[in-house]
Structure 1
Amino acid sequence: MDLVLRLISEFTNWLWSYPLLAAVVGGGIIIACRLRFIQFRKFAYINKQTFGRIFSPSSIGQGTVTPFQAACTALASSIGAANIVVVPTIIFTAGPGAVFWMWLAALLGQSTKFAEIVLGIKYRQLNQAGEYVGGACYYMEKGIGGRIGKICGFLVAFFFMIEILPSITLQTHSAVKPLVELGFNRYSAVGIIFILVFLVVYGGVKRIGKVTEKLVPLMAVVYFFFGLIILLVNFREIPQALYNIIVGAFNPAAVGGGVTGGSILTVMKAGVARGVYSNEAGMSSAPYGHGAATTDHPVRQGFWGIFEVTVDTLIVCTMSAMITLVSGVWQNDAFKDIAVYKAFSLQYGALGEYIVSFSLFLFVLSTIIVIVYYVEKLAEYCFGYLMSKIMRMSACAMIILAAFLSMDNAGILLDFTLGMVVLFNIIGVVYMSGQVKRETDEFFKQPQYYEK
């Protein structure tokens, strides 16, 4: 058994070192070129359709939840503890220049996520309860077609479901930590998380949409507001921070930090990896959240994928990186795992740690809520509607396990199964990118869609 685990671990480490990153970034470049870089070409229009409609979201067409609720559901999955805790670590280990490559990966990822959501809406269907469901498994089956499409659809769904179940327990561990720091004991913290998640997910996709459309903006605004104050107080350090990011991207030794004498390749890999992981572009998760959206055209909902990457990586992750740089904590390796906590405590004292703990708890809680829903939808595709309800209960039970299990050895399984999902998904999306182009061209050529 140890030999099997070691072989899986070695293969997984190799897979995530360069092959998958190359596949996701390379796939992103192919998709972006095929769509003629829609995220830049239609920048103003896309922002009008997304940021411009946050407070009056359109509900044109058919669906179960509003477009903004669907976007918040998908965002709740991708915005998590990593946005606060992990992002600063790339600065410590690879230097400030890694942030530049994180931005670049995010800009490319906007096309990939747009394509995933377009395909997800195009091939979604009504389930037994009369709700719209969609996701990578559906567009793999119908978009590729035939026996190969069915096999790929099942594998993407099954591997993703297997990856999410232990992730729920691990995410609960992350949510318990800030509650303990706020004064709760471990068991009561797990109980609180279980009750909150249970009450939301058992209300179905409509309740999840209603909760996430309030929770996601709240947690983003709280973190951004207090982070912005730190940037304003340290505004004189912002030019130097930007200089370190730009110069460090191509000459890491010039700015010091964790990679004095390091290579550009080291910095590039760290930044690209964080850009890919943070917004989940290419990882197949977003289409499950968007499958229930009310929309009249797949492309209109696809714009919200570009919106998500902007919020997740270009706003929230960038805030964490800039706070780490302007506060100066990045120059002390002792703060590697608590960089944002330290930056906030320097500015706000003891209150700062409470702000970060509160933000971290909301970030992780929202993730747990949504991935429990994802397990249900994945099980529905693989095994049918009835089994999806059983898996919903199983997913909620994984929260309880956090009170008793450490899940120290789960990382190997998680990385392997997620790697399989990403590999199948990115190949499928690139293969079907011609369909995305046709849908996009149709949208902008027909006034009844474009001028709404």
Structure 2
Amino acid sequence: MNNLQSLLQAIDSFVWGPPLLILLVGTGVYFTFKLGLLQFRHLPTALKLVFSKDKSSNGDVSSFAALCTALSATIGTGNIVGVATAIKLGGPGALFWMWLAALFGMATKYAECLLAVKYRKVDDKGQMLGGPMYYLRDGVGSKFLATMFAVFALGVACFGIGTFPQVNAILDASHISFGISREISASVLTLLVAFVTLGGIKSIAKVAGKVVPTMAVFYVLACLSVIIMNADQLGAAIQLVVVSAFTSTAATGGFVGASIMLAIQSGIARGVFSNESGLGSAPMAAAAAKTDSCVRQGLISMTGTFIDTIIICTMTGLALILTGAWQSDFAGAAMTTHAFAVGLNSDTLGPLLVSIGLIFFAFTTILGWNYYGERCVVFLMGTKAVLPYKIIFVGLVASGAFLHLDMIWIIADIVNGLMAVPNLIGLVLLRNVVIEETKLYFAATSKDKHDAVIA
């Protein structure tokens, strides 16, 4: 058993090693420059589009609901636990590399969500079908790459991010903060997941559209409270992040020290893990949006990476650095809880805020990934397999309370990384489609503006 675990850990380190990280960031760098720094120049427009209605009737849910569904899957334990893990391993400099991965990742997210809308189809129940498996099959012309992506993504939904880590985060937080037994929490959680997911994308989007913005604002305000109470050290904290990104960080307190390479690797890996740019998950939600323009949806979708990493992960990171929690002996969720307890000067309020954040973020992640898994099942086996899949998924959520296998977490990590490979190949091969669609859209919008001025 130990030998198998060692083998899986070696595979995991290889999958999430420099080759994949270089490919992920490299794809973002390529699109950033080929699209003329689109994510910087058009971010204000993209944020404006998030809240404007598209009059199109093609699609299942509004663009805002599609974005919230995608955010429900990405804003999760990674924003609270992942940031703490990255800084514990790579030092404050890891936060800088997280920012860099996110800024380039916005271009990748734009490209993959643009392609999702361009190549989407309608299933026999009238619902939208889209995502990497469709642009790999119909755009690239590779059924093999499409199937490979769908199998890996289904693995992530059932055995990875979609179930066990989130279930355990919810049960642990409920037990520690509210004293609720794992069995009761598991029963309530299973019923809630069944109730929401059986309603399909419209039901998931409805819940995500209310819970995600509310929880994101709640969590950002909680972090801001910590930052404001330690505002006198904010300049020094930001300076520490930038300096540590390019110099080795010495060991202090509970921090063992880190090289520049470790800061880069942990920052980029956790950043990608948190916002999922390039992994191919968000395009499945983007494809359901009511829109006639694939570029418009691409712009809206790229704001997801901005919100997830540049805003929420930054807030967590600054709270950890300002309070000195990163130098403590704590790790993961315990480190973030310690930061809130110190920052808010309260041993009860701090842990409570982190627990509530974890519970809701983890719950919405389960919902988002349930939908992604469903889209993969439809691609692989047709709509008839949706109900059996949902029953199995709910069963996995229920069993997550009683599973404590380290191996499942390692397998989840491996499958998560493997999912990115076919998707990135597709993005590279379809790069000219992305560039062409972008040029046409902006040429048309500038003509419309010009005509409006003349009129």
TM-score, normalising length from structure 1?
Answer: 0.93
Give me the whole-angstrom Cα distance separating, in 1, the residues matched to 2:108 and 2:43.
Answer: 16
Give me the whole-angstrom Cα distance separating, in 2, the residues matched to 1:450 and 1:362.
Answer: 42
Comparing 170-179 with 255-264, greater Cα deviation is found at 255-264
1:226 shift after superposition: 1.4
User: 1:155-202 CA distances to partner (integer Å, 9 max, x unpaired)?
Assistant: 100121123211213321111111112221111101111111111111
Comparing 84-93 with 291-300, greater Cα deviation is found at 84-93
SS in 1 for 2:193: helix
1:44 shift after superposition: 2.8
1:223 shift after superposition: 0.7
Partner of 2:17: 17
Give me the whole-angstrom Cα distance separating, in 2, the residues matched to 1:382 and 1:35.
Answer: 33
2:212 matched to 1:216?
A: yes
Comparing 429-438 with 258-267, greater Cα deviation is found at 258-267
From 139, 145, 154, the equivalent of 1:143 is 139
Give me the whole-angstrom Cα distance separating, in 2, the residues matched to 1:337 and 1:210.
Answer: 28
Q: Answer yes or no: is the 8 Å Cα contact 1:136–1:287 preserved in 2.
A: yes
Partner of 1:342: 338
Do the aligned partners of residues 325 and 262 (structure 1) sit closer, same or farther apart at CA in structure 2, a change above 3 Å counting?
closer
Q: Answer yes or no: is the 8 Å Cα contact 1:92–1:333 preserved in 2.
A: no
Give me the whole-angstrom Cα distance separating, in 1, the residues matched to 2:41 and 2:199.
Answer: 40
2:308 matched to 1:315?
A: no
Q: Answer yes or no: is the 8 Å Cα contact 2:89–2:262 preserved in 1.
A: no
From 397, 404, 421, the equivalent of 2:395 is 397
Q: Answer yes or no: is the 8 Å Cα contact 2:171–2:401 preserved in 1.
A: no
1:7 shift after superposition: 4.3
Partner of 2:127: 131
User: 1:354-376 CA distances to partner (integer Å, 9 max, x unpaired)?
Assistant: 11111110000000011112111
Do the aligned partners of residues 449 and 344 (structure 1) sit closer, same or farther apart at CA in structure 2, a change above 3 Å counting?
farther
Comparing 195-204 with 4-13, greater Cα deviation is found at 4-13
Q: Answer yes or no: is the 8 Å Cα contact 2:80–2:333 preserved in 1.
A: no
User: 1:262-303 CA distances to partner (integer Å, 9 max, x unpaired)?
Assistant: 432221111111221110001010011111100120010111
Partner of 1:380: 378
Q: Answer yes or no: is the 8 Å Cα contact 1:330–1:336 preserved in 2.
A: no
2:229 matched to 1:236?
A: no
Moved over 3 A (4+): 1-9, 56-61, 253-262, 334-337, 447-452
SS in 2 for 1:129: coil
Calculate the aligned-residue CA RMSD, in Å. Answer: 2.1
Give me the whole-angstrom Cα distance separating, in 1, the residues matched to 2:5 and 2:351.
Answer: 38
Give me the whole-angstrom Cα distance separating, in 2, the residues matched to 1:261 and 1:293.
Answer: 45
Do the aligned partners of residues 297 and 61 (structure 1) sit closer, same or farther apart at CA in structure 2, a change above 3 Å counting?
farther
SS in 1 for 2:60: coil
From 267, 287, 292, the equivalent of 1:291 is 287
TM-score, normalising length from structure 2?
Answer: 0.93
Q: Answer yes or no: is the 8 Å Cα contact 1:106–1:309 preserved in 2.
A: yes
Give me the whole-angstrom Cα distance separating, in 2, the residues matched to 1:68 and 1:223.
Answer: 20
User: 1:305-358 CA distances to partner (integer Å, 9 max, x unpaired)?
Assistant: 221011100111001000011112222234565122112222133122111111
Give me the whole-angstrom Cα distance separating, in 1, the residues matched to 2:300 and 2:77.
Answer: 22
1:83 shift after superposition: 0.6
Q: Answer yes or no: is the 8 Å Cα contact 1:341–1:353 preserved in 2.
A: yes
Give me the whole-angstrom Cα distance separating, in 1, the residues matched to 2:207 and 2:257.
Answer: 48
SS in 1 for 2:36: coil
SS in 1 for 2:406: coil
Give me the whole-angstrom Cα distance separating, in 1, the residues matched to 2:360 and 2:385.
Answer: 29
Give me the whole-angstrom Cα distance separating, in 1, the residues matched to 2:60 and 2:312.
Answer: 28
2:175 matched to 1:177?
A: no
Give me the whole-angstrom Cα distance separating, in 2, the residues matched to 1:261 and 1:173.
Answer: 30
Partner of 2:151: 158
Give me the whole-angstrom Cα distance separating, in 1, the residues matched to 2:235 and 2:78.
Answer: 25
Give me the whole-angstrom Cα distance separating, in 1, the residues matched to 2:188 and 2:332.
Answer: 30
User: 1:243-279 CA distances to partner (integer Å, 9 max, x unpaired)?
Assistant: 1011111123479677776432221111111221110
Q: Answer yes or no: is the 8 Å Cα contact 1:253–1:259 preserved in 2.
A: no
Q: Answer yes or no: is the 8 Å Cα contact 2:89–2:258 preserved in 1.
A: no
Partner of 2:31: 31
Do the aligned partners of residues 185 and 441 (structure 1) sit closer, same or farther apart at CA in structure 2, a change above 3 Å counting?
same
1:61 shift after superposition: 4.6
Comparing 248-257 with 430-439, greater Cα deviation is found at 248-257
Give me the whole-angstrom Cα distance separating, in 2, the residues matched to 1:152 and 1:425.
Answer: 8
- Give the length in aligned residue pairs: 445
Do the aligned partners of residues 332 and 210 (structure 1) sit closer, same or farther apart at CA in structure 2, a change above 3 Å counting?
same
Do the aligned partners of residues 113 and 97 (structure 1) sit closer, same or farther apart at CA in structure 2, a change above 3 Å counting?
same
Q: Answer yes or no: is the 8 Å Cα contact 2:15–2:418 preserved in 1.
A: no
Letter in 2 for 1:220: A
Do the aligned partners of residues 77 and 315 (structure 1) sit closer, same or farther apart at CA in structure 2, a change above 3 Å counting?
same
